[in-house]
Amino acid sequence: MMVIPVSQHKLIKIRRVNRDRLTKFALICSAIACGCNTLCSSTNHWLYTSEVLKYFVFPNQTLNFDDTSTATAPVYFKNATIGPWLFCWADPITPFHCSTVYYLTDEDPSDTTTSVQQSVRRAFLFMLVGMILDGFGLMMAIICYCLKNPYASLLVSSLLHINSGIANFSCIIVYMSAVSKEVGNKIHAASEMDEPLFYMSYGFSFWCLKVSF
C-alpha cells in the first residue's frame, strides 16, 4: 500500500520572525489598553457640568419677579467635575471642593448635577471589571511574549481583552444613558431667545476609556 506523505499546510504556518512580531505587537496593544484603562479608572475627570441656577437667591436676600424677567439679571452656575471616586463642585456661595463618592448611600438630589452624579455610579462597576480583565490580559501577553510556543497564552490573552472590551463598551453605554436620562432637554435652548439650562462635556478620563475599548 502506498503511503502519502503529509506536511503542514503553508497557509497555517507562521514563520518564527512573523510570530515574534505578532506577539510583540499583541504585547504593545495590551499594554496600551491596560494603561488607558488604569488611567481612566484612577482619575476623576469623566464629566464636566455647569448648571444654571435660575432662581438662585443669596442668603438674607429677597428675589423680586422683576429681577428674573430683565435681560440684565445675573446668571449663576453650579460647576462640577464628576468621577468614580470624587465629586467636586462649586456654586456662588460654596467654594470649589471635593467629596468622596459613596456607592452604598443615596440622598435625595437637590439639583440636576447631583442627580447625574448619583445615576452614573452604576456604570463604574463595568469599568472595574474591564480594568481587572485588562490587567490579566496584559499578564498573559507578557507570558506569551516569553514563551517559545505562545499560541495558548495568546488565545487566553485575546479572550480576556475581548471580554474587557465588552465591559468597557457596557460602561460607556450605561454612563452616557444615565447622563442623558437625567439631563434631558436642558442642554438645548427652549427658544432662540433663551440659553440652555445645562452645559456638559466629557473629560479626558472618559476618552481614555474609549481608547482602551
117 in Cβ contact with 80 (< 8 Å) = yes
Burial class (CB in 10 A: 0-12, 13-18, 19+), 75: exposed
Q: Where are the beta strands (DSSP E) in 40-108?
A: 47-53, 76-82, 86-91, 94-100
| Model pLDDT for residues 189-213, shown as the tens digit of each residue | 766 667 778 888 898 888 888 887 6
Task: Write down all domains in the chain, each with its CATH number in brackets.
Answer: 19-212 (1.20.140.150)
| Model pLDDT for residues 77-129, shown as the tens digit of each residue | 888 998 889 889 888 888 888 888 888 777 777 778 888 888 888 888 898 99
| Model pLDDT for residues 47-71, shown as the tens digit of each residue | 998 888 877 666 766 555 455 454 5
The model's pTM: 0.78
